[in-house]
Copies of this chain bind each other. A is one copy, B any other.
Amino acid sequence: METPGSGTQAMRALIALRERILAGTIGPGTRLLEVPLSEALEISRTPLREAMARLVEEGLLERVRAGGFVVRSFGFQDVIDAIELRGVLEGTAARLAAERGVGEEALTELGEVVSALDLCFGAAPGEVEFERYSELNAGFHERLSGLAGSSVIKRELDRVTRLPFASPSAFLPDKADIVAFRRSLNVAQDQHRAMVAAIAGREGARAEALAREHARLARQNLEYVMEEDRSLLSRVPGMALMVG
């Protein structure tokens, strides 16, 4: 049995719309008109509205006062704030995990992810298996978000992370050619290891500070892209949502 609803019209509309918004085909601020859209997607208005309602939950659309939806738009500062917010929430997850304590197995598991991440680094300074690193990194952050055992925290963290540019993986893939990015991976991995140690040692404040600083790497990378090489912007996921 597949995921129920995966073959529904609403799901098709959801996927198609999400893709177009993230690709920038439908730019930020654009109002989504039901009739033309339903014709373009060859889907009737009812499931289309269902899809749009879900995209509001994802944070990609906004409801407009008089009815209808527009593509949400983010300024540079909004992107910075979303990254900061992720840091704050991951920090909270890490702190609570440290303060409340976590089960042996969960901690071991997280440690194994960190060990696996170590194996992505080769002998030479800049030699890194990016694809594998990216996957494992996503796994690390996923586990971290649930480590405190709080569904409320996990839920909000997942929510913020759903904004592509605020995701922990936003500045990872196929950035192999940028020296500054490669070096940031070593720092990031140090922080991963330190976070696990802090949580294991019940050092809540340290775990929180580390998670916040960890998110700052994403901010650094974003600022590098904006100031040094804007041609890389198109490779950052969700950047089509940014204006200015």
Give me the interface of A with B, judged by CB distance under 8 Å.
Answer: 3-5, 46, 49-50, 53-54, 56-57, 65-67, 74, 77-78, 81-82, 84-85, 88-89, 92, 96, 150-153, 156, 159-160
Contact = CB atoms under 8 A, between A and B. Distances in A.
A65 B53 CA distance: 16
A242 B172 CA distance: 40
A156 B160 contact: yes
A67 B151 contact: no
Contacts of A152: 74, 78, 81-82, 85
A84 B49 CA distance: 35
Interface centre among A81, A82, A85, A153 (most CB of B within 10 A): A81
Secondary structure of the A contact surface, majority rule: helix
A4 B66 contact: yes
A81 B153 contact: yes
A53 B10 CA distance: 13
A85 B153 CA distance: 7
29 contacts: A4-B65, A4-B67, A5-B67, A46-B46, A49-B50, A50-B53, A53-B53, A53-B54, A53-B56, A56-B57, A57-B57, A77-B150, A78-B150, A78-B151, A78-B152, A81-B96, A81-B150, A81-B151, A81-B152, A82-B152, A84-B92, A85-B92, A85-B152, A85-B153, A85-B156, A88-B88, A88-B92, A156-B156, A156-B159
A6 B49 CA distance: 19
